[in-house]
């Protein structure tokens, strides 16, 4: 069983998957859609990836404000998580993703990725940070 991490955005979803030992997260892809509310193909692609990678749990980034309040984007992430539960039948966990996009952007800059190419990778890298944070916390709880 593997765990999938998702960075849900207005027109993209970054996807990462853990290794079989649940130690590391690897970026898989970024799913693009034309409109924010057009999720049928996005959900179908996530379901395909869950089958392909034998995913048993999904972690969705929960974009809280820095003062710990929940805004519009977080509400949309919660609704998306409910859709995922219904579509896949898998448990879906919300994971605090504050500053993951900032961290992902910094990583891309330090890696020498040109500014005009960063958006291609940003959401996938953010999904890796979300999933890795979850995996690390899960490992620390079990020790």
64 or 16, greater pLDDT: 16
CB atoms within 10 A of CB 85: 13
Number of domains in the chain: 1
3-state SS, 20-73, equals: CCCCCEEEEEEEECCCCCCCHHHHHHHHHHHHHCCEEEEEEEECCCCCCCCCHH
**Residue 10: domain span:** 2-142
* 116 or 10: which leads in pLDDT: 10
Tell me the pLDDT tens digit for each residue of 56-95: 999 999 988 778 788 888 899 999 999 999 999 999 999 9
What does the pLDDT look like over 95-125, one tens digit per residue? 988 667 767 667 767 777 677 766 777 788 8
Give pTM, 2 decimals: 0.88
CATH number at residue 37: 3.30.420.140
């Amino acid at each position: 069983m593997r765990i999938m991490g998702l960075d849900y955005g207005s027109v993209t979803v970054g996807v990462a998957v853990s290794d079989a030992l649940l130690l590391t997260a690897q970026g898989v892809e970024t799913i693009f859609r034309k409109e924010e509310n057009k999720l049928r193909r996005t959900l179908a692609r996530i379901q395909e990836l869950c089958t392909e990678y034998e995913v048993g749990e999904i972690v969705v980034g929960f974009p809280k404000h820095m003062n710990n309040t929940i805004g519009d984007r977080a509400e949309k992430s919660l609704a998306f998580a409910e859709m995922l539960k219904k579509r896949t039948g898998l448990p879906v966990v919300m994971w605090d993703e504050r500053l993951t996009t900032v961290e992902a952007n910094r990583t891309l800059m330090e890696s020498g990725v040109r500014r005009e190419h960063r958006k291609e990778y940003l959401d996938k890298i953010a999904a890796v940070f979300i999933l890795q944070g979850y995996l690390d916390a899960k490992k620390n709880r079990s020790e």
